């Protein structure tokens, strides 16, 4: 008998048997839940087809290169032999250096057991050597076009990361310790959490990222004081309560994305961009988009423009008496804003916009990044079929897709913590926002994916037509400020930069540090990330970066100086502050309003109830 090993007591055996029964019951229930969800949508089918075709293309390319195939097999055998030798030495008590270490920033193998215990060291290295081999194999494949290679790299990365030993009970030392300590209760709790999350998912699994009970919109997030002063079928317009003694004469309209909700710009008081803008003396208005359902299936991009920024500008004139505004836009809200400014320019109303700012905004979609894997012709056709049948794209499907762009951080880490360790996630407001999704109406989303991502028509003169008007971004003379972020994986700056080369009016381009959210929502008092500036706009982004100057801190004060120094807001002509309700628009309700509180489950449940009622009425 092994030294130190003790026979478990009858009490321990009974406890383990009870837990195993609970685990079995939870697992059986999980299988039943999964069987009920086996039929994928047209969109999921099209992704699976693209995945199969990518691997088939890779296999064919490898068969046509026997030298690479032989080298790969030889490399695999060599790695296994070296690993066997190292493992034998480690088991004999010798201190050995690892053959391979996790990449910097890879937090999966942070537990000391991965380096201190020979069996786990061997498992980790076996996996890392395999992952490295797969990556190098695909990189060296000839005969594949760049699109196929990009897709193959993405899908292979997903599969390799899914196979990580950290994702399985028996090969994760932290999970094994936890299982022994709790006698398997972690697995019981984890399976229960998995079933709950599965029931709140559209396709795939929307893993729980935060304690959702810790937050409530309008109570401890999205709390900057203000009032809804205008609404239509698609938007509520919030006017924020001033905090300064005087305000700039020209109001500021914020156009956020409708993929996710606006309050990423107003999470809490210490990082709220909305509050900071109000504190600088701007009269701030913000569009809060409706969370659409089947009733909005026919809403188009042109409708988003007309009922969004254009209606908001008209409402602001009623509220303040000002005929022009400054626009501040973000992500897809910025793409819509560029369309709107071009439309106003072509209809001789360009003077309604005094300046326009684009934050992390794609106008030139030449390189959409990894999200482009899901946006080829066959996949978009599948998405279009799903949109046609339902009238909207379930926002939870979109969230699952975006999480796979950074799968280890945004999926597998939570998978292990929640379902294997059985630990509910901590409260985190940013991740609450990330899981508080929005649906996407069929009439808008299918058009957007095809015309922008697939065909890149916004950059073509007359390539986009809105309400009978062909628009051209090159005709825009409105002064423009573009800010992108260096590590953005959604709106990559090597694409957003080329949007800044389009307008004929004056343009300033700034590059922030960090990613799509942290690089934009970067309050000055935190003094984080920094940003780069360059007064020149060369023809390519590499030359811009080569001539750029690094600056410390947040880009927000730089933007404010740009607004003031160029006269888009005039510090010499401040006016009395405008309280919500002072103008011609009465207060409808307190901010943040009804629209931002609409959740996907509420909308879907209401749709299902309406369908049942209609079916019952028709059968009478």
CA proximity to 310, closest of 469, 435, 108, 86: 469
Interaxial angle between packed helices 66-91 and 42-63, expressed in degrees from 0 to 180 and rounded to the nearest 10: 100
Partnered with residue 441 across adjacent β-strands are 392
Sequence-separated (6 or more) residues with CB below 8 Å from residue 27? 191
DSSP symbols for 148-212? HHHHHHHHHHHHHHHT-GGGSGGG-HHHHHHHHHHTTHHHHHHHHHHHHHHHT-SSS-----S-G
Cβ distance 600 to 395 under 8 Å? yes
DSSP symbols for 286-330? EEEE----GGGTT--HHHHHIIIIIHHHHHHHHHH--S-EEEEEE
Q: What are phi and psi of 8, to 5 degrees?
A: -65, 145
Sequence-separated (6 or more) residues with CB below 8 Å from residue 357? 326, 327, 328, 329, 480, 481, 482, 483, 559
Distance between CA atoms of 98 and 120, rounded to whole angstroms? 12
Distance between CA atoms of 17 and 272, rounded to whole angstroms? 52
Catalytic residue among 51, 302, 331, 502: 331
CB atoms within 10 A of CB 398: 19
Q: CA torsion, points 523, 524, 530, 533, in degrees to nearest 10?
A: 100
Distance between CA atoms of 178 and 173, rounded to whole angstroms? 8
* Tokens 């009978």 belong to residue: 468
Is 331 annotated as catalytic?
Answer: yes
Distance between CA atoms of 611 and 603, rounded to whole angstroms? 12
CA proximity to 155, closest of 404, 450, 488, 454: 404
Sequence-separated (6 or more) residues with CB below 8 Å from residue 448? 301, 332, 335
Cβ distance 194 to 23 under 8 Å? no
258's torsion region: left (phi>0), alpha (psi -120 to 50) or beta? alpha
Q: Is the peptide bond before 7 cis (omega within 30 degrees of 0)?
A: no
The whole-angstrom distance between residue 191's C-alpha and the CA centroid of its chain comes to 26
Residues with catalytic roles:
331
């Amino acid at each position: 008998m092994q030294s130190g090993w003790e026979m478990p007591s009858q009490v321990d055996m009974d406890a383990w048997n009870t837990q195993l029964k609970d685990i079995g019951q939870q697992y059986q229930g999980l299988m039943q839940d999964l069987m009920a969800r086996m039929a994928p949508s047209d969109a999921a089918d099209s992704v699976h087809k693209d995945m199969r075709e990518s691997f088939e293309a890779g296999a064919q390319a490898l068969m046509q290169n026997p030298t690479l195939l032989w080298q790969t097999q030889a490399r695999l055998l060599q790695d296994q032999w070296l690993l066997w030798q190292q493992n034998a030495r480690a088991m004999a008590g010798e201190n050995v250096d690892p053959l391979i270490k996790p990449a910097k920033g890879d937090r999966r193998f942070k537990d000391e057991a991965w380096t201190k215990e020979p069996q786990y060291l061997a498992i980790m290295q076996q996996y890392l050597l395999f992952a490295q081999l797969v990556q190098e194999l695909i990189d060296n494949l000839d005969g594949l076009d760049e699109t196929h290679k990009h897709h193959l790299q993405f899908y292979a990365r997903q599969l390799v990361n899914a196979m990580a030993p950290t994702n399985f009970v028996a090969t994760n030392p932290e999970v094994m310790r936890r299982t022994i300590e709790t006698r398997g209760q972690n697995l019981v709790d984890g399976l229960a959490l998995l079933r709950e999350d599965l029931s709140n998912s559209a396709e795939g699994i929307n893993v729980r990222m935060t304690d959702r009970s810790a937050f409530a919109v309008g109570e401890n997030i999205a709390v900057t004081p203000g009032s809804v002063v205008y609404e239509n079928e698609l938007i509520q317009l919030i006017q924020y309560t001033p905090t300064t003694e005087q305000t700039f004469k020209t109001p500021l309209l914020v156009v956020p994305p409708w993929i996710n909700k606006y309050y990423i710009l107003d999470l809490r008081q210490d990082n709220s961009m909305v509050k900071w803008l109000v504190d600088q003396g701007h009269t701030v208005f913000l569009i809060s988009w409706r969370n659409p359902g089947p009733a909005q299936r026919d809403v188009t991009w042109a409708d988003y423009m007309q009922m969004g920024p254009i209606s908001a500008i008209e409402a602001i004139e009623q509220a303040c008496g000002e005929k022009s505004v400054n626009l501040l836009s973000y992500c897809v809200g910025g793409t819509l804003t560029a369309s709107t400014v071009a439309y106003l320019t072509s209809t001789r109303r360009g003077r309604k916009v005094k300046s326009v700012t684009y934050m992390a905004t794609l106008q030139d979609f030449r390189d959409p990044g990894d999200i482009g894997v899901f946006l080829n012709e066959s996949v978009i056709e599948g998405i279009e079929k799903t949109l046609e049948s339902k009238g909207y794209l379930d926002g939870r499907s979109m969230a699952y897709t975006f999480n796979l762009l950074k799968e280890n951080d945004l999926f597998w880490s939570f998978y292990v913590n929640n379902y294997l360790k059985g630990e509910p996630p901590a409260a985190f407001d940013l991740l609450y926002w990330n899981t508080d999704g929005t649906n996407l109406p069929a009439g808008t989303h299918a058009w957007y994916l095809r015309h922008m991502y697939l065909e890149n028509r916004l950059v073509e003169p007359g390539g986009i037509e809105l309400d009978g008007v062909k628009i051209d971004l090159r005709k825009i003379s409105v002064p423009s400020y573009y800010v992108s972020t260096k590590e953005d994986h959604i709106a990559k700056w090597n694409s957003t930069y080329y949007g800044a080369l389009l307008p004929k009016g004056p343009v300033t381009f700034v590059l922030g540090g960090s990613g799509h959210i942290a690089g934009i929502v970067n309050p000055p008092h935190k003094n984080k990330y920094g940003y780069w500036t360059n007064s020149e706009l060369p023809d390519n982004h590499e030359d811009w970066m080569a001539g750029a100057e690094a600056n410390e801190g947040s880009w927000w004060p730089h933007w404010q100086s740009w607004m003031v120094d160029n006269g888009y807001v005039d510090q010499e002509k401040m006016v009395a502050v405008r309280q919500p309700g002072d103008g011609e628009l009465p207060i409808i309700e307190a901010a943040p309003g009804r629209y931002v509180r609409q959740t996907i489950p509420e909308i879907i449940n209401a749709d299902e109830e309406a369908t049942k009622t209609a079916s019952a009425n028709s059968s009478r």
